Amino acid sequence: MSSVKYLVLFTLVCVVSLFQPSQCRLDYHFFSDFLSKYSFTLPFKMAEKTPKDWVDSLVKKHKVVVFSKSYCPYCTRAKDALKKLNLHDLHVEELDSNPNMDQVQDYLNQLTGARSVPRVFVNGRFYGDSTKTVSDVESGKFMEHYKKTDL
């Protein structure tokens, strides 16, 4: 059963058990235990996917991947620079909407040496941060690297 179904079931049990609060508490603990056990994997769409698997699959699947946060000005600069290039396979992942943001950033730290965003990957490899990306887009170096290797 998905977590949404458990949430609906939990809500129904609580409504039905208005006159039996102890029953509701029991189900609340069951639901809470369920979420604490599975909430780490559910956002990745497959129970067996970890943040590492998820990041690796995105980096492998797309020619350019930007791990970003929607409110980050450095991320905005990098995304704007890349969007001007009209790349055919640019994927942006906003980590601030991901419930596993910390675990993803921990893995990005292992891959790239930093947890900060943006983290830009090109052709399956880490390319750089905002400063390098924007500078290389403006100088033309980014497109040279982009065209160098295909996935």
> Could you read off the pLDDT of 97-126 as tens digits, one per residue?
999 999 999 999 999 999 999 999 999 999
Across the range 15-27, mean pLDDT stands at: 49
pLDDT band at 49; cut points 50, 70, 90? confident
- pTM above 0.75? no
Task: Identify the pLDDT of residue 148.
Answer: 84
Asked whether the predicted pLDDT for residue 40 surpasses 90, the reply is: no
Task: Identify the pLDDT of residue 20.
Answer: 52
Across the range 63-80, mean pLDDT stands at: 98
Domain residue limits, the chain: 3-39, 51-148
SS3 content of the chain, % helix, strand, coil (to 5): 60, 10, 25
Provide, rounded to the nearest whole percent, the portion of the chain with pLDDT above 90. Answer: 64
> Could you read off the pLDDT of 127-146 as tens digits, one per residue?
999 999 999 999 999 999 99
Alpha-carbon distance of 70 to 148, in angstroms, equals 30
Q: Which CATH superfamily hosts domain 51-148?
A: Glutaredoxin (3.40.30.10)
Cis ω for the linkage preceding 118 (within 30 of 0): yes
